[in-house]
Copies of this chain bind each other. A is one copy, B any other.
Amino acid sequence: MSIEQLAVNTIKALAMDGVQRANSGHPGMPMGMADIATVLWSKHLRVDPTMPDWPDRDRFVLSNGHGSMLLYSLLHLTGFGLTIEDLMSFRRLGSKTPGHPERDPALGIEMTTGPLGQGFATGVGMALAEANLRSSFGSELVDHMTYAFLGDGDLMEGISSEAASFAGRLGLGRLVYLYDDNEISIGGSTDISFTEDVPARFVAHGWHVLDIDGHDRHAIDEAITLARSDERPSLIVCHTHIAHGAPTLHDTSKSHGSPLGEQEVAATKEGMGFPTDQMFHVPDGVYEFFADAMASGTDARVAWERRLSDAVEIDPGLAPRWSDRFGSVDAEVGPLGYEAGESVATRKASERAINLLAAEVPGLVGGSADLEPSTNTFIAGAAEMQDDIGGRNIRFGVREHAMGAIVNGLTVHGGFRAYGATFLVFNDYMRASTRLAALMGAPSIFVYTHDSVFLGEDGPTHQPIEQVASLRAMPNMWVVRPADATETAEAWEMALRRDDGPTAIVLTRQGIPVLDRSKHHGEVHRGGYVLRSGDDAVLIATGSEVHVAMEAAELLAEAGTSLRVVSMPCVEAFDAQDETYRSAVLGQLPVATLEAGVTMGWHRFTGSDGLAMGIDHFGASAPWKQLADHWGFTGPAVRDRIQEWLGGSAT
C-alpha cells in the first residue's frame, strides 16, 4: 500500500473512531473526502504548523463543518496543536475538538463553520482580502490561495449563490472550492430536492468548473493544479462516495450524522488492513508523510519572512504600512465639524466619520448592499474593488447575507477593518452571518441605517421594529445607536477598538440635532451617561429619541418635574461599567425608557413600576413627522405619559 493510501486510511479510521467514541458526529463526510483532503494537504496547501498564523498562509475552510473530524484528524497528523487525546475528547465539554470547528487561528482553524453556506461565503471574503492586499503589497509578500470543502447543503443555501455571483464579478481567481458531490443528503438521495445542474450554475456565475472522480487522487491533484492557475474562481466537482470504504453504510444517508457502529467500524478497518482492536491508530510513516509536506510550508514561511525583511530594508516605509494593517487600531475621528443644533442624520455623520477614519486606518474597507446612496458609506477618492481590486469600496449587490460573511472573511483573514451596510430591517436577511461574527469573536462592523419607523414612507416592510432588540439579544454583539453626530463619531471609534466581537452601528435616516457638547460631554464608550440632570425620575433614551426625551424634560421642568435624561447608545457597554458608575447614572430614581422599537429588554431597567415607551407593533407608511405624532414620539406626548406615570406611581 502506498504511503498516500495509508494516510487516507488513517484519516478515515481517526474520523470513525472519534465519532464512535463520542457516540455522536458525522463520519460519512470525512471518509468520503479523505482522498481529496490528503492530496490537498500533502501537495498543495501551504501552511506552517510551527507558525499557524503566518499572514501569507493558504486559507483552508471546512464549509461542511459537520465533518469536523476530518479537519481535526488533519491538524493532528500535520503537527498543529491537536493531540491524539484531543481527538479522543471529540465533542466533550471544554475540549479543543467541539462538534463543529470553532475559529482558533493558533490551532489552524480559520473560522467557525457548521451553519451551511457560511464557509463558502466567508472564504470569498478571505480571497478578496488576499487579492486586495496583493494589490497593495505585491505578490512577493501576499500570494496565497483560499481552499474550501463544500457539501450539497452549502450549495443549496442561498448565501452560496450570492457569494458565488460576487466572486465571479470580482474575478477572485485564488479561490479553489472542492465540492463533495456524494449525492447523499440527510433526507436520503440529494435527488429528492436537489437536481439543478451545479456546474452550469457556476459557469453562469463566472466560475471555472472542473468535474472529477473524488477518489482518483491523480485527478484531484491535476484538477487543483489547473484550478490554482485559472484566473476565475474554481469549483471542482468531486464525485465521491459518502463513508467511502464502509462495507455496508457507504452511499447511505445513515452514515451522514451518526456513528457507524462498532461492527461497521471494525469491518471498514479490516478492509483497509487496519487493526480492528485499536482505536486512534496511526500507522508508521503517516506522520512523516505529512511532516514532509509541512516542512515545505515552513520553508515557504521562512522564505517569505526573508522577502519581507529584504523589502523593508529597501523601503523602510513598508514596516509601518504593514503593521498598520495587521496591528490593533486606536484611531480617533476628531471633530466632524458640525455646529450644535444643526440637523444632521447620523448616517450622514457616519459618512463623515468613515471618511476621516479612512485616512488613519488603511485597513478600513467596506460598502453596502446596493444602498450606497442611502447608507452613506462610500470612501471618497478611493477606488471601487470591482474596478480596481486594490480599492476600498465594495459593491456587494443586493446580497446582505453574503455581505455579512464577506465582511467576516475580510476580518478573520487579517489586514482589514471591514464594514458592510444596509437598512436595519434587512439585518433579518443576514442574521446568520452576523451571529457567526459574534460567535467567532470577529470584530466585523455592520452599519445599519434607516433605523426606525422614522424612515417614513417606505412603510412597515422597511421599518425596523424588533431589530434593535434582536441584535441586543445576540451574545457578544455590541449595538450602538448614537443620538447625534458626536456620538456617531464615538460609535465608530468604539467599533474599531473592539477586537473580540462585532459591532452594529445603528443610524437614522432623518436629520436630528447635533447636541451641544460644551454642555454635555459624550461618553459613548461608557454605554450610557447623564445628558441632563434631574432628580425626580430618569428617562433613558437612545438615538433619535434622545431629542424627544430632552424636549419632554424641558416641558416637565416647566411643570415642576425634574427629569434626568440618560443617553444610552450602547446597552452592552453600559452593562460592562462598574456598579458605581451605573448607580451614579441611574441613581435610585424611577426609570422610564424611550426607544422607537419594541420595549422588550428595557424592563430590566424600568423594573415593574417603570415605564417602557416603545412601538410594540409594526409600522406604517407615512411621512415620518406624522408617524411621530401618531405614535406619541413628541416632547408633549412623552411629557404627558411621564406625568401620568409619575402621578400613578406616586399614588
Mark A residues whose CB is within 8 Å of B.
22, 24-25, 65, 91-95, 98-100, 102, 112-116, 152-153, 156-162, 165-166, 168-169, 185-187, 192-198, 200-201, 203-206, 253, 368, 370-374, 384, 386, 395-402, 425-426, 428-429, 431-432, 435-436, 438-439, 456-462, 465-466, 469-470, 472-476, 598, 600-601, 603-604, 607-609, 616-618, 620-623, 626-627, 630
Contacts and interface: CB of A to CB of B under 8 A. Distances in A.
Contacts of A459: 91, 98-100, 102, 114
In the complex, the count of this chain's copies comes to: 2
A82 to B, nearest CB: 15
A306 B234 CA distance: 58
Nearest to A253: B373
A621 B153 CA distance: 22
Contacts of A429: 115, 157, 431-432
A193 B398 CA distance: 9
Given A186-B371, A198-B204, 8 more contacts: A157-B158, A187-B371, A192-B395, A193-B397, A465-B474, A476-B617, A601-B603, A603-B604
A327 B64 CA distance: 44
Contact of A91 (B466, B609, B622): B622
Which of A186, A253, A396 neighbours the largest number of chain B CB atoms within 10 Å of its CB? A186
Contacts of A253: 373
A622 to B, nearest CB: 4
A187 B466 contact: no
10 closest A-B pairs by CB = A158-B158, A607-B608, A98-B621, A114-B461, A193-B397, A93-B622, A161-B161, A200-B204, A99-B459, A466-B473
12 contacts: A95-B621, A114-B461, A157-B158, A169-B193, A169-B195, A186-B374, A187-B372, A426-B432, A439-B618, A469-B469, A607-B609, A608-B608
Q: Give the residue among A22, A158, A162 with the most B Cβ atoms within 10 A.
A: A158
Nearest to A604: B603
A383 B164 CA distance: 34
Nearest to A98: B621
B100 A621 contact: yes
Contacts of A204: 196-198, 200-201, 204
A501 to B, nearest CB: 11
Contacts of A457: 22, 24-25, 91, 99
Contact of A187 (B22, B152, B395, B475): B395
Contacts of A116: 398
A439 B461 CA distance: 8
A465 B469 contact: no
Nearest to A455: B99
Contact of A201 (B162, B185, B186, B205): B205
A598 B473 CA distance: 7
B153 A370 contact: yes
B193 A460 contact: no
A458 B100 contact: yes
Contacts of A402: 158
A397 B160 CA distance: 14
A310 B197 CA distance: 45
Nearest to A195: B169
A462 B462 CA distance: 29
A157 B165 contact: no
Nearest to A159: B158
